[in-house]
Structure 1
Amino acid sequence: MSFTVCVRPRLLTFSRHLMLAGTALCLVTTNPAIAQTAPASSASARSFNIPAQPLRDALRQLMQQGSLQIGFEAADVDGKTSSPVSGSMSAGEALSRLLAGSGLTFRYLTAGSVVIERAPQSADGAIQLGPVRVEGEGGGSGYASIAPSITSDPDATENTRSFTTRIMSSATHLPLTMRETPQSVTVLTSARIAADNLVDLVDVAMATPGLRRASNDARPNFMSRGFAIDTLTQDGIVSEYIGDEDTLGNLAMQDRVEIVRGATGMMQGSGNPAGAINMIRKRPTSTWQFKGAASVGSWDDYRAMADVSGPLTKDGRVRIRLVGSFQDAGNYYDLAFNDKHLGYVTVDIDLTERTTLNIGYSHVYSNRNMSWGGLPTSYDGSHLDLPRSTFIGNEWEYDKNKADTFYLSLIHDFGADWKLSFNGARVKRSYDMLATWVVPTPDVGGYGHVWYKGVTSRRQIAGDLKLSGPVSLLGREHDLVIGGTFNRQTRSTDEWMEGWDAPLTSGVDPLTWNHAAPMPDVSSTSRWYSYYPRTPFEQISVYSAGRFGLAASLDLLLGARLDWFDRVQPGGTESYSVNGHLTKYAGLTWKFARQHSAYVSYTDVFQPQSLRGLDGNYLPPRAGENYEIGVKGEYLDGALNGSIALFRVEESNRPAYLTDQSGCTIAPQACFGAAGLVRSEGVDIELQGALAEGWQIGGGFTYSNVRYRKDANPVNIGKRLDATVPTTLFKLSTQYTLPGSLDRLTLGGRINWQSKMYWDEENAYGDIARNQQNAYLIADLSATYRLTDHLNVKLDVNNVFDKTYYSAIGYGGLYGASEMFGEPRNFLLTVSANF
């Protein structure tokens, strides 16, 4: 046997998600693929019995019999037949025999996972077979790799143990690395979700650089670059409008969350220039696995989760995943409760070697008391310095949300990396809320309760169909995608509200309130407003995007989207339509060094408005432009990603509530006016991934200054758009597994710092008062101990220094409730299992 060792750079196309820019060591030999070296943990002998058959089926059997995760491209294995494997041997040797004569080789990424790749050929046609290269635990640069997916989603982050990912497509529909995406992006991977105990969208906002929860009560309101994020997408389909009627995106069924900061018109067609949150569901795994966790924490916080997945058929063509979770929790304020549960089932079916159907169902439910409107300030607008446990509500208040979702995904691989995919969903949501908030009662002193009840039902059917793949033109490789979406939602709402003229209670002292207001008799109260019959919303879109290789180091991204909107307004008698609106996207990336790229991007901003002015006519759509320029770096073979960006967003026609409603012709609905031109400018810096073996990090610094540039009221020009949103945020999350004999212990920590926020408003005495929260820092710590190879125990301590602070503030004392405390120091103990 003769052999020669060589080093050959290799750059694969975009759709080869498993390896994007690496080098492969080559071994020239005349024999079939043989595992020359394997990690010790994979070298133990197992019994194999795999007959000759289609290679894809044989690989699935080897994964089951050898407990080995195998990543491959469908185009590489389809149409090939395996060699038979029988007897006792290591998993690596079995795979070598299986691939004999196929022209394929493999390399280890971790001790339990490999990736299959085409064996290169020399000039004389001889096959050069790569040796086993260990890139994960067990040898090599273990921190510098991301293991291949063990599900039908090639970009899944499960079991990678990484705080970053190779590929994302939530900015342009194109599968790009983070370095190739010309916008500020963050991916909260499966490892990050587990490390930071992320449960729902509130936690996502707390963990993501540049995002902030800005609401001053229990209702969600998320901000980015000074604007509100108003939509949530699930697997690329707009599924929720963030506000009162949401289920807060239970993360137990999500593999990862992809966040884009800045305008995302290519993905949504319309929306605020704040950004987008795209949640990606877990898919069934190719081998059987079980994950479970049970937690107990401060304020009677009890949680449990179970996740089981694997093949249902012997050949592995049908796979299933079941996930269940619940939380029964109190909170730091009186009478608090926060109950959640989730049920999720999903099935993968390989209809052919190139076609996979994924179907699923999820049920998500949450119920909590609202603390609606937060805590009041004093009449002069200052803090009342109430205890953090204060709740000026009542025991009978609730906020119930429920969502039932049926979905399906169909992917067909035509070969040569061309794929046709369809995602569809049918969603049924219900929302039922009964709550109070407090307002000043100057005539008797103290405060009084206003009550509100709302019952909403929403239905949605949506789908997205797209075709994507590479093309060769003028000697260069390019990537294209073309597709279309359909989204139809109907809604009916009944609302009751009383108390402005005669409060449910009056003269309430927040320090001595006993939560004893009588429950209102809704049946004897006339509806305040009713959206009936159902309010239909319909959006049809077509889009196309391309990455064009202008030169070896220069790529041009172009995209366009046409949208047709039709919305019937409350009452069902009037329609608001937009026909064929064009959204444009452009980006240029330049790889000026092996690890660095510079980029510039542009997209326009467009959002139809359903709000109306004094004359009853609809406000003109919000419109504007989003610019971004930056530098990105990709280090350690993609295991660490960094970026720095400068951005500018301009938006006109923002709605502003008119304080004088006397001329409003659509009462009891409120009238609004266009607020002129607003400009947001700032910087965005982020680092996520591995710093060293066993050390993961995710963090970022964001500064954004949002001010009026034009306005009908000259007093507003130059002022902050919303001073309750801090200009500066710094977030850092990290975990480190100790080396050597201490490797059973993993330490973690989180830091959240923000600049001051304030609100100037006329108080109850007619003076302008400022309600302010100074800059603050919150620190969390965690420690995880690996009891066995399958069992961990983890302790989290949040707000270690027990900092007292207001997480949100709002208007002054004239209008009542305005602020909300952040959580005091608390603990969470978790036992988790993984088999």
Structure 2
Amino acid sequence: MFLYGAVGGGKETMDTMDARLSGQFSLGGRKHDVFVGFSSLRTDTRTDGYTDLAVDPTRYVYSIPNVNTWDGTAPVPNYRRTGAYTVQQTSQDAVYASARWRLAEPLSLLTGARVTNWRRHTDNYGTTGAYVRTTARQSVGQEVSPFLGVVYDLNEYVSAYASHTGIFNPQNYKDRFADPLSPVKGKSNELGLKGEWPEHGISGSFAFFEVKQDNYGVKDGNFKVPGETADAYVAVNGTKSFGWEADIAARLNSNWQATAGVTRVKTTRNAFDLTYANLPEWLVKLGTQYRFSGVLQPVELGAQLLWQGQMDAVNVPSPSGRTKVKQSPFGLLNLNASWRFTEATSVNLAVTNALDKHYLATLDYANYGEPRFISLTLRTRF
């Protein structure tokens, strides 16, 4: 048994701008919707350099002589800032537009696209604060992410739809050679039904989905980023997730609401993927919320049950070599209660993992999920 620690610090500054314009126009005797926009994002992330005066300058490790007799004490890590630092500058500009074309009374066609320019580089500064060099330059210009969808109203309550969406998702991982990974690219397809019956207080949906992605970052075994304590990642092509999900919400009476949802996801991996699936195949959510009337009108109580199926991880790194880790199915119960003093002020009591269930949140390091957590929150609006 050993204790492992690392030290790091820095700050991040983010500036964003977003402009949108929407409206309607007439064509072919029908009104259609149009939406255009522009977004800009600038992020400066400063990472300070630290040194550990132990044997290993990048991390702190203390081997426990005998865990059965250990009293919990350990040497204090001895570290300091070196004065060196890096600044990673990321910028992303995009223009986007979409339109809803009402081709017929029950049929609508949705079209759209997003054009993105993305750039990133890292400026390196020495221990005196002087600029040294610029590394890890990346850029993607005029990346087009299309959107195409169709909606057909089967009747006044139920609609069928299908959609295709392009994926462009920058990621902030580095590989075992300290080179940053390129953005994730892919596509997402969905086919489903949505319904709403307002007079009965019921709404629901059912959908099939498929997501394909390239350059998807996964942890690269036990490798670390050179000169850093961060885990190294490797880009994997050909990852695919597919499945279905169903959701329903119902108003049982004027004060009582309930929700339920089921999701099944299957993930397939490229043969060269050396990591693991860290995802459960089944997810179930059940929830209820009740608001009292009469003298107890200010009181509202709620509960949510989250259940997930078995989660397997293959090729997990371990001291004895790659192994398989399994998380058995488990459920978590969350509770909440609130009291409304006025329309603007209320107090809320929330209990997460009320039964204090012990479970593994992720399988890469087999670290446990959060134990029972209780919070009391006072909210008011002005």
Show the 5 A alignment for 1:478-489.
478-489=32-43
What SS does structure 1 have at the residue aligned with 2:62?
coil
Specify which of 304, 313, 319 is matched with residue 764 of structure 1.
Answer: 319
Alignment match, 2:64: 507
| One-letter amino acid matched to 2:257 | Q
Matched, 1:521 2:82: no
Cα separation, 2, equivalents of 1:795 and 1:458:
32
Alignment match, 2:147: 585
How far apart are 1:516 and its partner, in Å? 3.3
Pick the structure with more helix per residue. 1
Which digits, 9 at most, give the CA deviation of each residue in 1:161-190, with x for residues without a partner? xxxxxxxxxxxxxxxxxxxxxxxxxxxxxx
C-alpha distance 494-472 of structure 1, shift in aligned 2 (>3 A): same
Cα separation, 2, equivalents of 1:486 and 1:617:
25
Equivalent pairs: percent with the same residue?
Answer: 27
Q: Which has the higher contact order (CA 8 A, sep 6+)?
A: 1
> Does structure 2 retain, via aligned residues, the 8 Å contact 1:758–1:809?
no
Matched, 1:711 2:280: no
Matched, 1:737 2:291: yes
The runs of 5 or more residues in structure 1 that have no matched partner are 1-445, 812-816
C-alpha distance 497-810 of structure 1, shift in aligned 2 (>3 A): farther
Alignment match, 1:701: 262
Specify which of 568, 573, 576 is matched with residue 121 of structure 2.
Answer: 568
Show the 5 A alignment for 1:594-633.
594-608=156-170, 619-633=181-195
Cα separation, 1, equivalents of 2:265 and 2:99:
30
Show the 5 A alignment for 1:160-199.
none
The runs of 5 or more residues in structure 2 that have no matched partner are 125-132
Cα separation, 2, equivalents of 1:612 and 1:795:
41
| One-letter amino acid matched to 2:12 | R
Show the 5 A alignment for 1:349-748.
446-447=1-2, 449-496=3-50, 498=52, 501=56, 503-507=60-64, 514-523=71-80, 531-532=85-86, 534-569=87-122, 571=124, 573-574=134-135, 575-608=137-170, 619-636=181-198, 640-659=202-221, 667-668=226-227, 673-688=234-249, 690-708=251-269, 710-712=270-272, 722-738=276-292, 743=297, 746-748=300-302
Cα separation, 2, equivalents of 1:585 and 1:830:
40
| One-letter amino acid matched to 1:635 | W
Alignment match, 2:129: none
How far apart are 1:537 and its partner, in Å? 1.2
Q: TM-score if structure 2 supplies the norm length?
A: 0.80
C-alpha distance 673-472 of structure 1, shift in aligned 2 (>3 A): same
What SS does structure 2 have at the residue aligned with 1:805?
coil
Cα separation, 2, equivalents of 1:796 and 1:659:
38
How far apart are 1:509 and its partner, in Å? 5.2
Cα separation, 2, equivalents of 1:494 and 1:581:
33
What SS does structure 1 have at the residue aligned with 2:154?
coil
C-alpha distance 583-694 of structure 1, shift in aligned 2 (>3 A): same
C-alpha distance 711-466 of structure 1, shift in aligned 2 (>3 A): same
C-alpha distance 503-746 of structure 1, shift in aligned 2 (>3 A): closer
Which digits, 9 at most, give the CA deviation of each residue in 1:728-783, with x for residues without a partner? 211222212346676565442211111122434354344x5443331112224445
Aligned length: 367
Cα separation, 1, equivalents of 2:375 and 2:271:
49
How far apart are 1:831 and its partner, in Å? 7.5
What SS does structure 2 have at the residue aligned with 1:573?
strand
| One-letter amino acid matched to 2:19 | L
What SS does structure 2 have at the residue aligned with 1:516?
coil
C-alpha distance 613-744 of structure 1, shift in aligned 2 (>3 A): closer
Alignment match, 2:127: none
How far apart are 1:484 and its partner, in Å? 1.1
> Does structure 2 retain, via aligned residues, the 8 Å contact 1:677–1:711?
no
How far apart are 1:612 and its partner, in Å? 6.2
What SS does structure 2 have at the residue aligned with 1:569?
strand
Show the 5 A alignment for 1:76-155.
none
Cα separation, 2, equivalents of 1:794 and 1:748:
11
Specify which of 299, 306, 310 is matched with residue 752 of structure 1.
Answer: 306
Matched, 1:818 2:366: yes
| One-letter amino acid matched to 1:712 | F
How far apart are 1:667 and its partner, in Å? 3.7
Cα separation, 2, equivalents of 1:497 and 1:641:
57
Cα separation, 2, equivalents of 1:578 and 1:788:
52
C-alpha distance 667-746 of structure 1, shift in aligned 2 (>3 A): closer
Alignment match, 1:54: none
C-alpha distance 521-681 of structure 1, shift in aligned 2 (>3 A): same
What SS does structure 2 have at the residue aligned with 1:551?
coil
Cα separation, 2, equivalents of 1:832 and 1:577:
44
User: Could you tell which deviates more after superposition, 469-478 or 504-513?
Assistant: 504-513
> Does structure 1 retain, via aligned residues, the 8 Å contact 2:360–2:366?
no
Alignment match, 1:66: none
The structure with the largest alpha-carbon Rg is: 1
